[in-house]
Amino acid sequence: MLCPNILSICLAAATAYAAAETTPLEERATGFVTRSGTGFVVDGKAFNFVGTNAYWASGLSSGDLNSLFSQMNSAGMKVLRIFAWSDNVGGAQDGSLQYWSGSNNTPNPSAFAKQMDPIVSAAEAAGIKLVVPMIGNWGPSISLYIQQIVGSAGTHDAFYSNSQIVNAYKKYVNFFVNRYKSSPAIFAWELMNEPRCTGDDNRGKSSACNAAMITSWIRTMSSYIKGIDSQHMVTVGDEGWFTSTQGYGNSYPYSGSDGIDWVTNLKISSIDYGTVHMYPSGWGQTDDWGNMWISQHGDQAKSIGKPVVLEEFGTTNTGSRYNTINGWLNSAYSAGFSGIQYWQFVASFPSGYKSPDDGNGISTSESTYSLIKAMASKMNAKGGGGYTPITDTPGQSSSTSTPGNGGSVIHYG
């Protein structure tokens, strides 16, 4: 999903050679979620979950973070997906975890301490796991890499194929992963939010961009992360596009035209589970089609022998939302999905902050939210249910939440 104002409110990572400025979290032997066959386990027990997305969560004050995680725990939700990147051109700024001077990208440890450290700490205390994509396809994100290194003539897919860009992203990832690789709060590292050959930057794609190009990039980056951090899972963060090879037809979701071959990518040894996003109306499909999309991915994941998570889904049709979401939730459960994360969490917070809503969000005050809670209970009953949160989290504050600004002084580096 494309989020508004992504440069200022989504987080960034930083560079590898700056890793000497940071100290990884204290080693912990328990609490890490891993893959076992087509499911997840934590400390030897099955871990099935319902969760949500809150790309803006890193900007919450500590009091609002505690409120978010308390609301999730009350609903039985256990996994939160955030967006974890932001960049600026020029000197270091508190709102950006990475800054650029020409073609050189540099981390900002101070911004990390203010923005990422608090949410990791609060998640640990609350027993919430975090899915962390470290770059996005939409907005300035990968386009900024291209602009700074290649220039205006660079096509969108240069991010996957240009060796200087790939190395710049590796530096970014190295700093990020090293900083939090010992935290059990990390559920998985995600390579990108919704990788495609094209984005919304009007750069277009080169004639060389195809599924083979992006698959090669996925193999390179996932192996690189595994070389840094063997304790956490790695996933792609893609929407789940098929190709004609699967025999589902040649309409847009099955054409492979965006450079994603979901089946081939899931077979990569350094990819732990598959992700599926679903916005049928935006793809020229009916809401009912979504049930088939879910079933097809469940079948393919079982055949490959890896877990699958319905990572984003939503509908702007409020009149039929309750029945539509109910159908999708039950389809994911029946298809053997190990995780379900709706887009997105919508609520008010103690500071007065109200989370954004692009029309797909599910408010905690609407009837559809009861379906989320019911499915969370059902998934938890399959294994991994229940957590008693720590209630004496230090640094609680009722200060105003501002996306892009942290609210805690806990330091990891």
Catalytic residue among 124, 190, 239, 312: 312
Q: Comparing C-alpha atoms, which of 123, 117, 110, 136 is closest to residue 10?
A: 136
Buried b (16+ CB within 10 A) or exposed e, 305-337: ebbbbbbbbbbeeeeebbebbebbbebbbebbb
* Parallel/antiparallel/unpaired status of strands 274-278 and 308-313: parallel
Residue whose pair of structure tokens reads 């709102």 in the numeric block: 95
Torsion of CA 327, 2, 169, 171, to 10 degrees: -90
Catalytic residue among 124, 194, 239, 311: 194
Residue 321, helix vs strand vs coil: helix
Q: Pull the structure tokens for residue 322.
A: 């309750």
Q: Which residues contact 281 (CB under 8 A, 6 or more apart)?
A: 287, 315, 316, 317
Question: In whole angstroms, what is the distance from residue 344 CA to residue 51 CA?
Answer: 10
Residue 216, helix vs strand vs coil: helix
Q: Which helix (H) or strand (E) holds 36?
A: strand 33-36
Q: Comparing C-alpha atoms, which of 187, 57, 188 is closest to residue 128?
A: 187
Judge whether 124 counts as a catalytic residue. no
Q: Pull the structure tokens for residue 87.
A: 């960049």
293 with 253: CB under 8 angstroms?
A: yes
Question: Rounded to the nearest 5°, which phi and psi values hold at 345?
Answer: -75, 125
Residue whose pair of structure tokens reads 């992963």 in the numeric block: 177
Judge whether 311 counts as a catalytic residue. no
For the annotated catalytic residues, the residue numbers are: 194, 312
